[in-house]
Protein backbone atom coordinates (compact mmCIF):
# COMPACT_ATOMS: atom_id res chain seq x y z
CA UNK A 1 0.00 0.00 0.00
CA UNK A 2 1.28 3.50 -0.87
CA UNK A 3 2.37 5.86 1.89
CA UNK A 4 -0.54 8.25 1.55
CA UNK A 5 0.92 10.79 3.98
CA UNK A 6 3.38 11.94 1.32
CA UNK A 7 1.02 12.16 -1.65
CA UNK A 8 0.12 15.46 -3.33
CA UNK A 9 -3.54 16.11 -4.06
CA UNK A 10 -3.06 15.03 -7.68
CA UNK A 11 -1.26 11.83 -6.69
CA UNK A 12 -3.96 11.01 -4.17
CA UNK A 13 -6.73 11.76 -6.69
CA UNK A 14 -5.02 9.39 -9.13
CA UNK A 15 -4.65 6.69 -6.48
CA UNK A 16 -8.36 6.99 -5.63
CA UNK A 17 -9.33 6.97 -9.32
CA UNK A 18 -7.16 3.90 -10.01
CA UNK A 19 -8.76 2.02 -7.15
CA UNK A 20 -12.31 3.06 -8.04
CA UNK A 21 -11.66 2.01 -11.62
CA UNK A 22 -10.30 -1.35 -10.42
CA UNK A 23 -13.64 -1.80 -8.65
CA UNK A 24 -15.62 -0.77 -11.76
CA UNK A 25 -16.75 2.51 -10.16
CA UNK A 26 -16.96 5.53 -12.42
CA UNK A 27 -16.34 8.88 -10.75
CA UNK A 28 -15.48 12.43 -11.73
CA UNK A 29 -13.31 14.76 -9.67
CA UNK A 30 -14.92 18.20 -9.26
CA UNK A 31 -14.56 21.25 -7.02
CA UNK A 32 -11.51 22.69 -5.31
CA UNK A 33 -9.22 19.73 -6.05
CA UNK A 34 -9.47 20.58 -9.76
CA UNK A 35 -8.48 24.15 -8.90
CA UNK A 36 -5.40 22.85 -7.04
CA UNK A 37 -4.43 20.62 -9.95
CA UNK A 38 -4.90 23.26 -12.63
CA UNK A 39 -3.33 26.08 -10.63
CA UNK A 40 -0.37 23.82 -9.82
CA UNK A 41 -1.19 24.09 -6.12
CA UNK A 42 -1.21 27.87 -6.05
CA UNK A 43 -4.51 27.23 -4.31
CA UNK A 44 -4.36 24.22 -2.02
CA UNK A 45 -7.59 22.37 -1.48
CA UNK A 46 -7.83 19.56 1.05
CA UNK A 47 -11.12 18.18 -0.29
CA UNK A 48 -11.28 15.65 -3.06
CA UNK A 49 -14.89 15.83 -4.22
CA UNK A 50 -15.93 12.99 -6.50
CA UNK A 51 -19.31 12.60 -8.19
CA UNK A 52 -20.43 9.04 -8.78
CA UNK A 53 -23.61 7.17 -9.58
CA UNK A 54 -22.34 4.13 -7.66
CA UNK A 55 -23.63 3.34 -4.20
CA UNK A 56 -21.80 4.58 -1.13
CA UNK A 57 -21.38 0.96 -0.03
CA UNK A 58 -19.43 0.11 -3.19
CA UNK A 59 -17.32 3.24 -2.76
CA UNK A 60 -16.71 2.43 0.91
CA UNK A 61 -15.32 -1.01 0.07
CA UNK A 62 -13.05 0.42 -2.63
CA UNK A 63 -11.68 3.16 -0.39
CA UNK A 64 -10.97 0.76 2.46
CA UNK A 65 -8.44 -0.94 0.20
CA UNK A 66 -6.33 2.23 0.11
CA UNK A 67 -6.70 3.03 3.81
CA UNK A 68 -9.61 5.49 3.77
CA UNK A 69 -11.67 3.57 6.28
CA UNK A 70 -12.84 6.42 8.51
CA UNK A 71 -16.26 7.38 7.15
CA UNK A 72 -18.53 10.17 8.36
CA UNK A 73 -21.61 10.41 6.16
CA UNK A 74 -20.24 10.67 2.63
CA UNK A 75 -16.78 11.84 3.71
CA UNK A 76 -13.80 9.49 4.00
CA UNK A 77 -10.56 10.25 5.80
CA UNK A 78 -7.35 8.68 7.04
CA UNK A 79 -5.37 10.02 9.99
CA UNK A 80 -2.14 9.97 7.94
CA UNK A 81 -3.28 12.71 5.59
CA UNK A 82 -5.11 16.04 5.82
CA UNK A 83 -6.93 15.33 2.57
CA UNK A 84 -10.50 14.09 2.80
CA UNK A 85 -12.51 12.38 0.08
CA UNK A 86 -16.12 13.40 -0.34
CA UNK A 87 -18.67 11.74 -2.58
CA UNK A 88 -21.00 14.40 -3.88
CA UNK A 89 -24.46 13.59 -5.19
CA UNK A 90 -24.81 13.42 -8.99
CA UNK A 91 -25.30 14.78 -11.58
CA UNK A 92 -22.12 16.51 -12.70
CA UNK A 93 -23.43 19.89 -13.72
CA UNK A 94 -22.63 23.55 -13.68
CA UNK A 95 -25.68 25.74 -13.34
CA UNK A 96 -28.42 24.38 -15.54
CA UNK A 97 -26.09 22.50 -17.85
CA UNK A 98 -24.98 18.88 -17.60
CA UNK A 99 -21.27 18.19 -18.11
CA UNK A 100 -20.48 15.45 -20.63
CA UNK A 101 -16.83 16.06 -21.52
CA UNK A 102 -14.00 15.63 -19.08
CA UNK A 103 -10.25 15.86 -18.92
CA UNK A 104 -8.41 12.59 -18.31
CA UNK A 105 -5.15 11.88 -16.54
CA UNK A 106 -4.91 8.09 -16.71
CA UNK A 107 -7.91 6.73 -14.82
CA UNK A 108 -8.59 10.12 -13.26
CA UNK A 109 -11.50 11.91 -14.88
CA UNK A 110 -11.90 15.58 -13.91
CA UNK A 111 -13.57 18.80 -15.02
CA UNK A 112 -11.89 20.44 -18.00
CA UNK A 113 -10.02 23.68 -17.22
CA UNK A 114 -12.90 25.71 -18.72
CA UNK A 115 -15.50 23.86 -16.66
CA UNK A 116 -13.34 24.24 -13.57
CA UNK A 117 -13.36 28.02 -14.13
CA UNK A 118 -17.14 27.91 -14.69
CA UNK A 119 -17.58 25.94 -11.46
CA UNK A 120 -15.70 28.61 -9.50
CA UNK A 121 -17.47 31.46 -11.31
CA UNK A 122 -20.78 29.81 -10.53
CA UNK A 123 -20.00 30.02 -6.79
CA UNK A 124 -18.95 33.65 -7.25
CA UNK A 125 -22.12 34.45 -9.20
CA UNK A 126 -24.48 32.82 -6.71
CA UNK A 127 -22.83 33.63 -3.41
CA UNK A 128 -20.60 36.56 -4.29
CA UNK A 129 -17.72 34.46 -2.96
CA UNK A 130 -14.49 36.38 -3.50
CA UNK A 131 -12.35 33.27 -2.90
CA UNK A 132 -14.10 31.49 -5.77
CA UNK A 133 -13.47 34.45 -8.07
CA UNK A 134 -9.79 34.41 -7.09
CA UNK A 135 -9.60 30.68 -7.81
CA UNK A 136 -11.30 31.12 -11.20
CA UNK A 137 -8.69 33.74 -12.08
CA UNK A 138 -5.85 31.47 -10.90
CA UNK A 139 -7.00 28.58 -13.09
CA UNK A 140 -7.71 30.82 -16.08
CA UNK A 141 -4.21 32.32 -15.85
CA UNK A 142 -2.42 29.00 -15.32
CA UNK A 143 -4.36 27.28 -18.12
CA UNK A 144 -4.86 30.23 -20.47
CA UNK A 145 -4.33 28.19 -23.65
CA UNK A 146 -7.02 25.72 -22.58
CA UNK A 147 -9.70 28.21 -21.51
CA UNK A 148 -12.51 28.98 -23.94
CA UNK A 149 -13.43 32.58 -23.09
CA UNK A 150 -16.21 32.69 -25.72
CA UNK A 151 -17.85 29.71 -24.06
CA UNK A 152 -17.42 31.29 -20.61
CA UNK A 153 -19.08 34.46 -21.87
CA UNK A 154 -21.97 32.54 -23.46
CA UNK A 155 -22.52 30.58 -20.27
CA UNK A 156 -22.31 33.68 -18.07
CA UNK A 157 -25.00 35.34 -20.20
CA UNK A 158 -27.16 32.24 -19.83
CA UNK A 159 -26.65 32.47 -16.07
CA UNK A 160 -27.65 36.19 -16.16
CA UNK A 161 -24.31 37.22 -14.74
CA UNK A 162 -22.57 39.06 -17.53
CA UNK A 163 -21.52 42.00 -15.32
CA UNK A 164 -19.76 39.67 -12.88
CA UNK A 165 -18.15 37.91 -15.84
CA UNK A 166 -16.82 41.27 -17.03
CA UNK A 167 -15.29 41.84 -13.60
CA UNK A 168 -13.64 38.41 -13.86
CA UNK A 169 -12.18 39.43 -17.27
CA UNK A 170 -10.85 42.65 -15.69
CA UNK A 171 -9.18 40.63 -12.91
CA UNK A 172 -7.69 38.34 -15.54
CA UNK A 173 -5.90 41.40 -16.94
CA UNK B 1 -49.73 17.35 -1.47
CA UNK B 2 -46.30 16.50 -2.90
CA UNK B 3 -45.57 14.12 -0.04
CA UNK B 4 -45.67 11.01 -2.26
CA UNK B 5 -43.00 12.61 -4.44
CA UNK B 6 -40.77 13.93 -1.65
CA UNK B 7 -41.10 10.81 0.49
CA UNK B 8 -42.50 12.37 3.67
CA UNK B 9 -44.45 15.33 5.03
CA UNK B 10 -41.47 16.88 6.81
CA UNK B 11 -39.49 17.20 3.59
CA UNK B 12 -42.51 18.70 1.86
CA UNK B 13 -42.85 21.29 4.62
CA UNK B 14 -39.13 22.13 4.58
CA UNK B 15 -39.10 22.65 0.83
CA UNK B 16 -42.32 24.69 0.88
CA UNK B 17 -40.85 26.83 3.67
CA UNK B 18 -37.59 27.43 1.79
CA UNK B 19 -39.41 28.30 -1.39
CA UNK B 20 -41.68 30.73 0.44
CA UNK B 21 -39.10 32.40 2.71
CA UNK B 22 -35.83 31.87 0.81
CA UNK B 23 -33.98 30.37 3.74
CA UNK B 24 -34.53 28.89 7.17
CA UNK B 25 -33.00 27.05 10.11
CA UNK B 26 -34.27 23.80 11.62
CA UNK B 27 -35.55 25.29 14.87
CA UNK B 28 -37.54 27.98 13.09
CA UNK B 29 -39.02 25.54 10.58
CA UNK B 30 -39.88 23.01 13.29
CA UNK B 31 -41.56 25.69 15.43
CA UNK B 32 -43.48 27.07 12.45
CA UNK B 33 -45.09 23.71 11.77
CA UNK B 34 -45.11 22.36 15.34
CA UNK B 35 -42.93 19.40 14.41
CA UNK B 36 -39.81 17.90 15.99
CA UNK B 37 -36.55 19.71 15.28
CA UNK B 38 -34.70 16.38 15.02
CA UNK B 39 -36.97 15.34 12.19
CA UNK B 40 -36.25 18.59 10.35
CA UNK B 41 -32.49 18.25 10.90
CA UNK B 42 -32.55 14.68 9.63
CA UNK B 43 -34.34 15.63 6.41
CA UNK B 44 -32.15 18.72 5.95
CA UNK B 45 -29.09 16.49 6.11
CA UNK B 46 -30.59 14.19 3.49
CA UNK B 47 -31.46 17.12 1.22
CA UNK B 48 -27.99 18.59 1.66
CA UNK B 49 -26.31 15.26 0.85
CA UNK B 50 -28.42 15.16 -2.29
CA UNK B 51 -27.25 18.62 -3.32
CA UNK B 52 -30.78 20.09 -3.21
CA UNK B 53 -30.08 22.48 -0.35
CA UNK B 54 -26.90 24.13 0.93
CA UNK B 55 -26.14 25.53 4.35
CA UNK B 56 -23.90 28.06 6.05
CA UNK B 57 -23.20 28.86 9.67
CA UNK B 58 -24.35 32.23 10.97
CA UNK B 59 -23.12 32.49 14.53
CA UNK B 60 -24.20 29.19 16.00
CA UNK B 61 -27.14 28.69 13.69
CA UNK B 62 -26.99 26.66 10.48
CA UNK B 63 -29.04 28.38 7.81
CA UNK B 64 -30.36 26.41 4.84
CA UNK B 65 -31.49 27.51 1.40
CA UNK B 66 -32.10 25.89 -1.97
CA UNK B 67 -28.82 25.16 -3.72
CA UNK B 68 -28.83 27.66 -6.57
CA UNK B 69 -26.34 25.41 -8.40
CA UNK B 70 -28.56 22.32 -8.31
CA UNK B 71 -29.50 21.79 -11.96
CA UNK B 72 -33.19 21.11 -11.26
CA UNK B 73 -33.71 23.84 -8.68
CA UNK B 74 -35.79 26.02 -11.03
CA UNK B 75 -38.15 23.17 -11.89
CA UNK B 76 -38.54 22.11 -8.24
CA UNK B 77 -39.32 25.66 -7.15
CA UNK B 78 -41.86 26.07 -9.95
CA UNK B 79 -43.57 22.86 -8.86
CA UNK B 80 -43.65 23.98 -5.22
CA UNK B 81 -44.92 27.46 -6.10
CA UNK B 82 -47.80 25.84 -7.97
CA UNK B 83 -48.46 23.37 -5.14
CA UNK B 84 -48.67 26.20 -2.58
CA UNK B 85 -51.48 27.80 -4.57
CA UNK B 86 -53.45 24.55 -4.13
CA UNK B 87 -53.22 24.67 -0.32
CA UNK B 88 -56.31 25.71 1.67
CA UNK B 89 -56.32 29.45 2.36
CA UNK B 90 -56.19 28.80 6.11
CA UNK B 91 -52.96 26.85 5.71
CA UNK B 92 -51.41 29.52 3.50
CA UNK B 93 -52.24 32.16 6.10
CA UNK B 94 -50.97 30.04 8.97
CA UNK B 95 -47.65 28.87 7.54
CA UNK B 96 -46.71 30.85 4.47
CA UNK B 97 -47.69 34.43 5.28
CA UNK B 98 -45.37 35.02 8.23
CA UNK B 99 -43.95 38.50 8.58
CA UNK B 100 -40.64 38.86 6.74
CA UNK B 101 -40.17 42.63 6.79
CA UNK B 102 -37.89 44.08 9.50
CA UNK B 103 -39.14 44.75 13.02
CA UNK B 104 -37.11 46.96 15.33
CA UNK B 105 -35.92 45.29 18.53
CA UNK B 106 -38.08 46.17 21.54
CA UNK B 107 -41.30 46.77 19.62
CA UNK B 108 -44.17 44.48 20.55
CA UNK B 109 -44.89 41.79 17.95
Q: Which residues pair with A87 in a beta bridge?
A: A50
Choose among A111, A121, A116: nearest CA to A153.
Answer: A121
Contacts 24+ apart (CB under 8 A), A143-152: A143/A38, A143/A113, A146/A112, A146/A113, A146/A114, A147/A113, A147/A114, A147/A117, A148/A114, A151/A114, A152/A114, A152/A117, A152/A118, A152/A121
Q: Which residues pair with B65 in a beta bridge?
A: B54
Which residues of chain B neighbour A95 with C-beta distances below 8 Å?
69, 71
For range A6-21, the mean pLDDT = 96
CB B1, CB B40: distance < 8 Å: no
**pLDDT at residue A68, rounded to an integer:** 95
Q: Which of A93, A132, A161 to mutate to test the interface with B (most CBs of B within 10 A)?
A: A93
Taking only the tens place, the pLDDT of each residue in B76-86 is 999 999 999 99
Model confidence band, residue B99 (pLDDT cutoffs 50, 70, 90):
confident
Task: Report the residue of chain B nearest A87, measured CA to CA.
Answer: B49
Task: Report the residue of chain A nearest B67, measured CA to CA.
Answer: A126
Inform me whether the C-beta atom of residue B101 falls under 8 Å from chain A C-beta atoms: no
Specify the DSSP class assigned to residue B24: B
- What secondary structure does DSSP assign to A87-152, as a single string? EEPSP-EETTEE----EEETTEEE--HHHHHHHHHHHHHHH--HHHHHHHHHHHHHTGGG--HHHH
pTM of the predicted model as reported, rounded to 2 decimal places: 0.89
Architecture of the structural domain at A4-95+99-110: 2-Layer Sandwich (3.30)
Average pLDDT of chain A, as a whole number: 95
Vertex B67 angle, CA A104 and B54, to 5°? 95
Percentage of chain B beyond pLDDT 70 is 99
Taking only Cα atoms into account, the Rg of chain A, rounded to an integer number of angstroms, comes to: 16
Backbone angles phi, psi at B57, to 5 degrees: -90, 135
Listed by start position, the domains of chain A span: 4-95+99-110, 113-172
CA dist B1 and A41 (Å) reads 49
Inform me whether the C-beta atom of residue A106 falls under 8 Å from chain B C-beta atoms: no
pLDDT for B109 beyond 70? no
A64, HSE (Cβ side, Cα atoms, 13 Å): 7
CA dist A140 and A39 (Å) reads 8
Q: Give the distance from CA A154 to its chain's centroid.
A: 22
Q: What domains are there in chain B, each with its CATH number?
A: 3-90 (1.10.10.10)
CB A95, CB A107: distance < 8 Å: no
Amino acid sequence: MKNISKLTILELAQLVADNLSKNSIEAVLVGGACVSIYSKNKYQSYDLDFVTESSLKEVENALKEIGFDDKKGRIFSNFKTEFVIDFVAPPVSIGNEPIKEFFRLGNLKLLTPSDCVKDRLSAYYHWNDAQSLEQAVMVAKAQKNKIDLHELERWSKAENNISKYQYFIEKLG
Amino acid sequence: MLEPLFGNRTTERILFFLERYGEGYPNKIANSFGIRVNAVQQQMKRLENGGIVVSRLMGKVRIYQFNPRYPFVGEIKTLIKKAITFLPESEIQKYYMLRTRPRKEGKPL
